[in-house]
Amino acid sequence: MLVKFKMELIEQIEKIQKPYKNAVITIGNFDGVHLGHQALFDKVKSKAKEIDGKSIAMTFEPHPIRVLEQNGLPPLITLYEQKVELIGKSNLDVLICVPFTREVASITPKEFVENILVKRIGMKAIVVGGDYTFGKNRGGNLDLLKDYAERHGFEVIVSDWIEVSENFPGRISSTRIRELVMEGKVDHARKLLGRYYQIRGQVVPGRKRGARDLGFPTANINLTDELCPKMGVYAVTVECQGERYKGVANIGFSPTFDDHIFTVEVHILDFHNDIYEEKIRVNFIKRIRDEKKFSNASELSKQIQKDIIKGREILSSLL
């Protein structure tokens, strides 16, 4: 179930009955909806306000590489539902999600600009990055787009890449964020995302060891996201039942028990509700330590107590 925003969501181009007034558009996959993407959206909104038009983003589902190249796509930072929610929070007027197929991939640059962007959507301006390509075999580039702009009377606005800060140099990109999350550097990923990295999943029955053997009940998550942080222990916040709680999460194979089953387990601090089968969201604040094998459950329990103390310290300023 998608969260509802004021933004209009169009999931089929054919449902656009008439061109939008003075449409200003940006186009991309927007995986992660990071600060670079948000900067594009801000430029779109600014230009739309200037010409009294509609601010629009266009994306594709599934990711084009997933259709065109088998096994060619790394894990996504945000799956479709979350991506729509995040773009909705940017206060754009419209999100157009094009179902991506091989037929769509065969549309020429000329057809894409003239038939879809200009005639169907009513584009008067487009905001893109300097390496933007479009159409069949990525045959359209910035020079061709500017050529079409002269013919059809729309403006091309090229947005510069942005960096986080002088203390954290480098271009913001989905690739870089993905690498940081997979390295466990979730606090660094936050600086590029503009929010904490989040996973979502349903709480399922676990191995019944958390409360029974260790004294710390855990919510075991059936992970639906593709990108999982590096194995280890993290300070997290947990969104469930309409509230937000502090927690400590463990990602890995529980080497102390040698059962070789990958799990994502969250101990929600000061929480005693039954949340089996509920969907929860876990925000990763900071990595505490590597996953480690202990000689017995008692030693692991003592370490978990230390992890909770460290987690509370990290989270003390958040809730």
Asked if residue 300 is part of any domain, the answer here is yes
Contact 249, 236 (CB under 8 A): yes
Could you report the per-residue pLDDT of 219-231, keeping only the tens digit for each? Answer: 999 888 999 999 9
* Residue 97: C-alpha distances to residues 40, 43, 63, 189 (Å): 17, 20, 11, 26
**pLDDT over 80 at 68, yes or no:** yes
pLDDT of 212 > 60? The answer is no
DSSP annotation of 77 reads S
Look at residue 80 and tell me whether its pLDDT is greater than 90: yes
Query: Do residues 152 and 203 share a domain?
Result: no
CA gyration radius for the chain?
Answer: 23
Q: Is 186 inside a domain boundary?
A: no
Q: Which of 23, 58, 161, 44 is nearest to 91 (CA)?
A: 44
Q: Which of 24-33, 165-174, 218-227 has the lowest mean pLDDT?
A: 165-174
Whether residue 70 contacts residue 35, with contact meaning beta carbons closer than 8 Å, is answered with no
Is the domain of 63 the same as that of 132?
A: yes
Mean pLDDT of 63-88: 90
Among 112, 145, 164, residue at a domain's last position: 164
The torsion defined by the Cα of 281, 286, 291 and 292, in degrees rounded to 10, comes to -140
Residue 121's pLDDT is what? 98
pLDDT tens-digit series, residues 256-279: 666 678 889 999 999 988 898 999
Which pLDDT belongs to residue 168? 67
Do 50 and 154 sit in the same domain of this protein? Answer: yes
Rounded distance, CA 163 to CA 141, Å? 24
Asked whether residue 214 falls in the same domain as residue 297, the answer is yes
Domain count for the chain, please give it.
Answer: 2
In terms of domains, do 97 and 219 share one?
Answer: no
Q: Decide if 173 is inside a domain.
A: no
What CATH number is associated with residue 121?
Answer: 3.40.50.620
**Which region among 20-24, 47-51, 171-175 has the lowest average model confidence (pLDDT)?**
171-175
Q: What is the pLDDT of residue 70?
A: 72
Query: What is the distance between the alpha carbons of residues 117 and 109, in angstroms, rounded to a whole number?
Result: 11
Quote the pLDDT of residue 220: 92
Domain that holds residue 266: 196-315
61 and 153 housed in the same domain: yes
> Do 109 and 226 have their domain in common?
no
Q: What percentage of residues in the chain have a pLDDT greater than 70?
A: 92
Indicate the pLDDT class of residue 1, thresholds 50, 70 and 90: very low
Provide the CATH number for the domain around residue 248.
2.40.30.30
Closest among 102, 108, 104, 151 to 133, alpha carbons compared: 108
- Name the DSSP letter for residue 231: S
pLDDT above 80: residue 72:
no
Task: Check whether residue 105 and residue 209 sit in a common domain.
Answer: no
Mean of per-residue pLDDT scores for the chain: 91
- 93 occurs within a structural domain: yes
Range list of β-strands (E), 67-196? 94-99, 123-129, 155-159, 163-165, 168-171
Residue where a domain stops, chosen among 164, 183, 217: 164
Domain check: are 145 and 19 in the same one? Answer: yes
The answer to whether 244 touches 237, Cβ cutoff 8 Å, is: yes
Q: Which of 109, 143, 164 is the last residue of a domain?
A: 164
Please give the structure tokens belonging to residue 188.
Answer: 């660094």
183 or 212, which is more confident? 183
For 242, residues 6+ apart whose C-beta sits below 8 A from its C-beta are none
DSSP sequence for 155-171: EEEEEPP-EEETTEEEE
Query: Does the residue 176 lie in any domain?
Result: no
End-to-end CA distance of the chain: 27
- Residues 160 and 255 both lie in one domain: no
| Tokens at 183, concatenated | 């390295």
CA-based angle 258:264:266, to the nearest 5?
A: 110
